[in-house]
């Protein structure tokens, strides 16, 4: 499913992305009946949330499906992208190169 949204200001775009990514991650945490779902999943690192590599792949695939994009492996392996916040910022910064209809589309 691809949901487009129209946002003119970068900070709003980031905020909207953060909310969408947080929603995806929260669903994964709820599915594993994890108390961490109650936390601030946007700013907590994946390490703090106890995400395993399989959880992480589930998150990434869902983000790709939701935004209708393909994320390059280099980004997936980038340890600096360690939370929803950092991912949202990265996606916003790289929206053009990702040719992402789901990010910032009018």
| Site for another protein contains 61 (CB under 8 A) | yes
Residue choice 7, 15, 37, 62 for contact with another protein (CB under 8 A): 62
Phi, psi of 66, rounded to the nearest 5 degrees: -65, -40
- Give DSSP secondary structure letters for 54-104: HHHHHHHHHHHHHHT----HHHHT-TT--BHHHHHHHHHHTHHHHT-TTSS
Dig out the tokens for 99 from the structure.
């040719």
Number of residues located near another protein, criterion CB under 8 A = 36
Site residues for another protein, window 69-88 (CB under 8 A)?
70, 73, 76-80, 82
CB of 6 or CB of 93, closer to another protein? 93
| Stretch touching another protein by CB under 8 A, among 3-11, 14-22, 62-70, 97-105 | 62-70
Angle (nearest 5°) at CA 9 between 16 and 104: 55
| Site for another protein contains 31 (CB under 8 A) | yes
CA nearest neighbour of 32 among 52, 46, 17, 57 = 52
Q: What is the binding site for another protein (CB under 8 A)? A: 28, 31-32, 34-36, 39-40, 44-58, 60-62, 64-65, 70, 73, 76-80, 82
């Amino acid at each position: 499913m691809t949901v487009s949204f129209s946002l003119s200001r970068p900070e709003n775009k980031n905020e909207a992305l953060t909310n969408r990514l947080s929603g995806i991650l929260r669903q994964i945490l709820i599915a594993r009946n994890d108390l961490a779902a109650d936390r601030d999943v946007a700013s907590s690192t994946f390490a703090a949330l106890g995400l395993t590599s399989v959880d992480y792949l589930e998150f990434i695939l869902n983000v790709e499906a939701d935004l209708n994009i393909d994320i390059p492996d280099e980004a997936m392996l980038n340890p600096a992208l360690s939370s929803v916040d950092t991912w949202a910022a990265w996606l916003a910064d790289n929206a053009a190169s990702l040719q992402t209809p789901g990010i910032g589309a009018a």
